[in-house]
Structure 1
Amino acid sequence: MIDHAHDLACVHDATERLLTAVAELDNASLAEPSRLPGWTRGHVLAHLARNADALVNVLEGRPMYPSAEARDADIERDAPRPLDAQLADLRETAARFQAAGNAPADWTRTVELRNGVTDSASRVPFRRWAEVGLHHVDLGIGYELEHLPAEFTEREIDFLAARFSGHPEVPATRVTDGTRAWSTGREAAEPEVTVSGAPADLLGWLAGRRAGAALEATGGALPTLPPL
Structure 2
Amino acid sequence: MTTLPRTTPTTPASTGPSTGPIAHARADAAAGLDALLSAVGRLTADDLAGPSTLDGWTRGHVLAHVAGLATAMLGQARAAERGEVVPVYASPEARSAGIEAGAERTVAEHLTVLGDLRDSLAEAWPQPGSPLWEAPSGYRGGPLSGCLLAWWREVRIHSVDALAGTTQEVGYETWDDALCAHLREFLAVRLPDGVSVDDVAGDPRDVTAWLAGRVPATPLPGDLPELGPWPSSTPAR
Find the partner of 1:215 among 217, 220, 224.
220
Other structure's SS at 2:219 match: coil
The change in CA–CA distance for 1:6 and 1:200 in structure 2 (over 3 A counts) is closer
Q: Which has the higher strand share?
A: 1
What is the distance in 1 between the residues matched to 2:209 and 2:174?
A: 12
Q: Distance in 2 between matches of 1:124 and 1:6?
A: 14
Partner SS state of residue 125, structure 2:
helix
**2:115 pairs with one of 91, 94, 98:** 91
Structure 1 residues 212, 94: CA separation in 2 closer, same or farther (over 3 Å shift)?
closer
Aligned residue in 1 for 2:233: none
Is 2:144 aligned against 1:125?
Answer: no
Q: 1:167-193, CA deviations, whole angstroms, 9 ceiling, x for partnerless residues?
A: xxx2311223xxxxxxxxxxxxxxxxx
Residues 8/147 of structure 1: CA separation in 2 closer, same or farther (3 Å cut): closer
Q: Which residue type is aligned with residue 161 of structure 2?
A: D
Alignment RMSD, CA only?
2.0
Q: Structure 1 residues 147, 7: CA separation in 2 closer, same or farther (over 3 Å shift)?
A: closer
Q: 1:145 aligns with which of 162, 172, 193?
A: 172
Give the counterpart letter for 2:43 in structure 1: L
| In 2: Cα distance, 1:42 partner to 1:93 partner | 17
Q: How does 1:51-62 map to 2 (within 5 A)?
A: 51-59=69-77, 60=79, 61-62=85-86
- CA shift at 1:67, angstroms? 0.1
Corresponding residue of 2:204: 199
Change (3 A) 1:123 1:70: same
The residue type paired with residue 225 of structure 1 is: L
Displacement after TM superposition at 1:105 (Å): 5.5
Counterpart CA distance in 2 for 1:27 and 1:212 is 27
Q: 2:184 aligns with which of 145, 152, 157?
A: 157
Percent identity over paired residues: 34
Question: What corresponds to 1:111 in structure 2?
Answer: 137
Structure-2 separation of matches of 1:128 and 1:87: 18
Distance in 2, matches of 1:214 and 1:164, equals: 19
User: TM-score, length-normalised on structure 2?
Assistant: 0.77
Aligned length: 200
Find the aligned partners of 2:148 and 2:46 in 1 and give their Cα distance: 32
In structure 1, list runs of 5 or more residues that go unmatched. 177-193
Q: Is 1:69 aligned to residue 93 of structure 2?
A: yes
Residue by residue over 1:82-111, the C-alpha shift from the partner in whole angstroms, topping out at 9 and shown as x without a partner, is 100011001111222222203765211232
Could you tell me which residue of structure 1 aligns to residue 39 of structure 2?
21
8 A contact 1:53–1:96 mirrored in 2: no
Contact 2:86-2:137 within 8 A present in 1 as well: no
Higher relative contact order (CA 8 A, sep 6+): 2
Instruction: Report the secondary structure of 2:52's partner residue.
Output: coil
Any gaps of 5 or more consecutive residues in structure 2?
Answer: 1-16, 80-84, 231-237
* Structure 2 CA distance for aligned equivalents of residues 206 and 77 of structure 1: 30
Higher helix proportion (structure 1 or 2): 2
- Once superposed, which parts of structure 1, at least 4 consecutive aligned residues long, lie more than 4 Å away? none
Q: Deviations over 1:14-51 (max 9, x none)?
A: 11111111111111210001000000000011111111
d(CA) in 2 for partners of 1:72 and 1:105? 33
Provide the residue aligned with 1:172 in structure 2: 194
2: CA distance between counterparts of 1:78 and 1:121?
26
